Amino acid sequence: MILNLLYFIGFLFLIILIITGVILIIISLIKKSKNKIVLYTGIAFCGIPALIFLLNFLNESFFEKPNQKELIGTYKISKITTSNIASKNLDKYKLRLFKNGEFQMTPISGIETCEKGNYELDYDLEYNELSFYCGNVVTTAHIDGKIGGYSIEFIIGDPDSGKSIYFEKIN
**Model pTM above 0.75:** no
pLDDT over 70 (residue 139): yes
- Rg, Å, the chain Cα set: 23
CA atoms within 13 A on the CB side of 56: 8
Q: Which domain holds residue 133?
A: 68-169
pLDDT over 60 (residue 163): yes
Count structural domains, the chain. Answer: 2
What does the buried/exposed string (b/e) look like for 46-80 if buried means 16 or more CB atoms within 10 Å of the residue's CB? beebeeeeeeeeeeeeeeeebeeeebeeebbbbee
pLDDT at 105: 93
Task: Report the alpha-carbon angle 160-3-137, nearest 5.
Answer: 50
Same domain assignment for residues 54 and 108: no
Is there a contact between 168 and 76 (Cβ–Cβ < 8 Å)? yes
Q: What is the CATH number of the domain that holds 133?
A: 2.40.128
pLDDT at 34: 78
